[in-house]
Amino acid sequence: MEIRIGIVNAPRELNFETSQSAEELVEQVQSALTSGTGVLRLNDDKGRLYVVPTAGIAYVEIGTEESRRIGFVG
């Protein structure tokens, strides 16, 4: 699953892939925004941890679970 997080006042977005489902990700984002902890914590496929301050989140884009195509499309 591809994740893109837009950061307020930053020219680039945070972009990574994770093995979590879209439902799990939506739940994590919603709980981070409403819990008052001030941070969103997400892990990628390589085991890295991303900690994003919720006050700086402009948007979160969750991609579709689509396998990559190999070969030619005719």
Across residues 35-54, what is the average pLDDT? 92
pTM for the model stands at 0.79
Across residues 26-47, what is the average pLDDT? 92
Residue 15 has pLDDT above 80, yes or no: yes
Q: How many helices (H) and strands (E) does the chain have?
A: 1, 5
59-28-25 Cα angle (round to 5): 70
From CA 20, how far away is CA 68, in angstroms rounded? 17
Question: DSSP readout, 12-33?
Answer: S-EEEE-SS-HHHHHHHHHHHH
